[in-house]
Amino acid sequence: MGFTREELESYRDAVVPDLLGDTPPRLVFVGINPGLWTAATQTHFAHPGNRFYPALQGAGVTDRPLDRVGGLSAEDRRQLTGRGIAITNLVPRATAKASELTREELRAGGEALVARLEAWRPAVVAVAGVTAYRTAFGRPKAQLGRQDATLAGAELWVVPNPSGLNAHETVETLAAHYRQVAVAAGLLTA
**Burial annotation 172-184 (CB, 10 A radius, 16+ → b, else e):** eebbbbbbbbbeb
pLDDT of 6-33, one tens digit each?
A: 999 999 999 999 999 999 999 999 999 9
Would you give the DSSP letter of residue 98?
A: G
Domains, the chain, ranges and CATH? 5-184 (3.40.470.10)
pLDDT of 65-101, one tens digit each?
A: 998 888 999 999 999 999 999 999 999 999 999 999 9
Asked if residues 144 and 44 have their Cβ atoms less than 8 Å apart, the reply is no
Asked if residues 11 and 43 have their Cβ atoms less than 8 Å apart, the reply is no
Q: What is the pTM of this model?
A: 0.96
Does residue 1 carry a pLDDT above 70? no
pLDDT of 29-47, one tens digit each?
A: 999 999 999 999 999 999 9
Q: CB count, 10 Å around CB of 84?
A: 21
